[in-house]
Amino acid sequence: MNALVNLLACALAMLPAPFLWQGRLPLPLRGAVLGAALLCFEVFSVLSFGNAEPYALYEMYPLEMFALCLCVSTLLLKRRRAFFAALAQGFWLWVEFFGRLSLSYRNVPFDYLPLALLVAGLAFSPLLNVRRFDARLYFAVFWAGVWIVA
């Protein structure tokens, strides 16, 4: 996997985050926005990896991007930020754990580090309730770090 592509993916995943929960859209339109974001990540993954990489390396890549996007989007929420950040990280943890578990049956090594980091992030989620901008910034950097490790 190319480091530049990984970096680009991280930036692309964060790009729609500020607009995900903006405005008072009806629920189906919100669903369409989420679906469109996931679709963009899928197209990016296929164009970036295609047939050059083994399928196992990128089959959950769009979902990882989507999870990062959801995590970052919670930083801009005005209410119940910590709760939704915990849910988003729970989603990411879910994707990572079960994805890696299924890959481990295909002899892909099971890497614990991203999972441990995400569990740590979950544990520290209540810090997001603090009304300081710093906490949000730290979390954004932390998630970018998790992305690099994952």
Q: Which residues bind other proteins (CB under 8 A)?
A: 26-28, 30-32, 34-35, 38-39, 42-43, 46, 55-56, 59-60, 62-63, 94-95, 97-106, 110
**Min dist. Cβ of residue 109 to other proteins (A):** 11
Query: Given the complex with other proteins, which of 115 and 140 has the nearer CB atom?
Result: 115
Environment class of 138 (CB within 10 Å of its CB; exposed 0-12, middle 13-18, buried 19+): middle
By C-beta, is 92 or 143 nearer to other proteins? 92
* Sequence-distant (≥ 6) Cβ neighbours of residue 88 within 8 angstroms: 67, 70, 71, 73, 74
What is the C-alpha separation between 52 and 118, in angstroms, rounded? 29
Q: Which is nearer to other proteins, 35 or 126 (CB)?
A: 35
